[in-house]
Amino acid sequence: MQPHLSPDQNRILETVLNQVFDTCNLPDCSIDTPAVDSRQNKKLIQLFIAAKKIEGCSDNTLDYYYNTLSRMDKTLQKNICDIQTNDLRLYLSNYQNSRHSSKITLDNIRRIMSSFFAWLEDEDYIVKSPVRRIHKVKTTQQVKETLSDEQLELLRDQCSHPRDLAIIDLLTSTGIRVGELVKLNRSDINFVERECIVLGNGDKERPVYFDAKTKIHLQQYLATRTDSDPALFVSVHAPWNRLTIAGVERFLKNLGQKSQVRHVHPHKFRRTMATMAIEKGMPIEQVQKLLGHTKIDTTLHYYGKQVLMESDVLKSA
């Protein structure tokens, strides 16, 4: 400004500018931003996954945790111990905008981050979890579809092998998960008590019970077996390998298409069993035990209008 102002005016301008800059907290550009220690970030994530594995989380859950946290680490490009609340808020907002994710997916990511940073706090890697001030994402509770009696009969009519009928009846009467179904061995079945022991989430065993129709169809199926495989359900053709989750899902999808029943998948039988049990008067606490849910909220959230009505009764009691 020297060419345009007198010496006295330049001195006044300099004084005013110095006073203004003294009140501003300007960043020191000479200080370098700490370099991202990607190896340390990866190590912390791996240690967290190891801790969750010891707690009994399934391999699928551990993979979901690892992929979610690795994606966060790659996107934020910060040392994990330096991540702040606003970093995570912006990450969740950008994730939802770029992927058009549902609120349920977004809250799942928030819960995983909350678990991870709470673990870092417990292990003294950080002073306070940055997720504490990020509240639960509000989601709309939807009543999910179940299979009607007519639809179940349509599916049974299209079963071309005794094994298929036994699978349909066992899923319907017990409500077990598909992962529990494929782990079952012949020795797990107690035909006298109409009971079988399943290995659920976290490697927890629990008894489940099947009806007389399922007992008969299981016995008829096992009578056709000529192999020595200990698995309860194997492929129809040689070499008669144990059925996989993907194999059961594919079989049910094809059966649904032949029966003209929409959206047939293993978990739909689980919801159907729970809803039928509630409608027949079984206490929700007992349904929770049969399904292997740790929290009763999970049972209330998953299964049908009747369960939601029961939920209101419990909360008002």
Same domain, 104 and 163: no
Q: What is the DSSP string of 256-309?
A: HHHHT-SS--HHHHHHHHHHHHHHTT--HHHHHHHHT-SSHHHHHHHSHHHHHH
Is residue 68's pLDDT more than 60? yes
Same domain, 118 and 155: no
* 12, part of any domain: no
Cβ count within 10 A of residue 238: 9
pLDDT digits (tens, 9 = 90+) for 273-313: 888 887 787 777 788 888 887 766 667 665 444 444 444 44
Q: What is the DSSP string of 146-162?
A: ---HHHHHHHHHT--SH
Same domain, 93 and 241: no
According to the model, what pLDDT value does residue 201 have? 75
According to the model, what pLDDT value does residue 203 have? 74
Query: What are the DSSP E strand ranges found in the chain?
Result: 189-190, 195-199, 205-209
Identify the CA nearest to 42 among candidates 4, 70, 16, 20. Answer: 70
What average pLDDT score do residues 193-209 get? 86
Position with higher pLDDT, 97 vs 286: 97
Same domain, 186 and 296: yes
Identify the CA nearest to 217 among candidates 290, 159, 281, 166. Answer: 166
- Identify the domain containing residue 229 by its residue range: 149-316
Burial 16-52 (b: 16+ CB within 10 A, else e): eeeeeeeeeeeeeeeeeeeeeeeeebeebbeebbeeb
Is residue 24's pLDDT more than 70? no
- How many independent structural domains does the chain possess? 2
Domain boundary among 74, 107, 122: 122
Angle at Cα 267 formed by Cα 264 and Cα 273, nearest 5°? 100
Q: Is the CB of residue 191 less than 8 Å from the CB of residue 235? A: no
pLDDT digits (tens, 9 = 90+) for 12-22: 777 776 666 66
Same domain, 115 and 158: no
Same domain, 49 and 162: no
What average pLDDT score do residues 258-280 get? 89
Q: How far is CA 205 from the centre of its chain?
A: 20
Show Cβ contacts of residue 25 under 8 Å, excluding neighbours closer than 6 positions. Answer: none
Same domain, 311 and 189: yes
Helix (H/G/I), strand (E/B), else coil: 234: strand
Same domain, 237 and 278: yes
Same domain, 58 and 185: no
* 31, part of any domain: no
Which secondary-structure segment (H or E) carries 96? Answer: helix 85-99
pLDDT digits (tens, 9 = 90+) for 205-226: 889 999 999 999 999 999 999 9
* 5, part of any domain: no
Which secondary-structure segment (H or E) carries 129? Answer: none
According to the model, what pLDDT value does residue 33 have? 57
Same domain, 181 and 116: no
CATH code, 111: 1.10.150
According to the model, what pLDDT value does residue 7 have? 72
Q: Is the CB of residue 134 less than 8 Å from the CB of residue 66? A: no
* 265, part of any domain: yes
* 70, part of any domain: yes
According to the model, what pLDDT value does residue 101 have? 86
* 19, part of any domain: no
Is the pTM of the predicted complex or chain greater than 0.75? no
Same domain, 161 and 280: yes
Q: Is the peptide bond before 239 cis (omega within 30 degrees of 0)?
A: yes
* 263, part of any domain: yes
CATH code, 265: 1.10.443.10
Same domain, 283 and 176: yes
* 260, part of any domain: yes
